[in-house]
Amino acid sequence: MPDCEEESETRTLHLIGDFSAPAEFFVTLGVFCFLYAMAALVLYLRFHSLYSENKKLPFADFCVTVCFAFFWLVAAAAWGKGLTDVKAATRPASLIAAMGVCQGQEVVCNAGATPAMGLANISVVRAGVGSGDAPPAMGVWGA
């Protein structure tokens, strides 16, 4: 952010708020889904007879998979809300309003280019749909 008063030095403008929690939740859930899918795959391939003989094991697997599917949906919604918050915080009008240098009487501040959020929007859609791999254990359960 330029300082148009006496000296022409730049200052850093920090956004207000913490937008990392939805992304951290989504990534953590993805890691747990991956680890569960790998454990289930080992169970299916290595201990297939145990899995087919025990009637409670497939039901427990189904219940865990349903829980992962629900949390995946919640995580995708949280990811979308986090993206909406980032869009609101980085909107040029919001940034201009946060700059103290633009609050003067005779100062005219114009917004530059609007941030491109197309790829971020696609990431939310892919997270919600699952792009064929969410939750990862869901594809293994049907095997």
Encode pLDDT of 103-123 as tens digits.
Answer: 777 878 877 777 777 777 777
> What is the Cα–Cα distance from 115 to 92, expressed in whole angstroms?
8
Average pLDDT over residues 70-94: 84
**Residue for token digits 């003067």?**
104
Do 96 and 109 touch, CB atoms closer than 8 A? yes
User: Which position has the token pair 């391939």?
Assistant: 45
Give the domain ranges of the chain.
Answer: 21-141
Contact 127, 78 (CB under 8 A): no
- What predicted TM-score, i.e. pTM, was given to this entire model? 0.67
Residue 82 pLDDT > 70:
yes
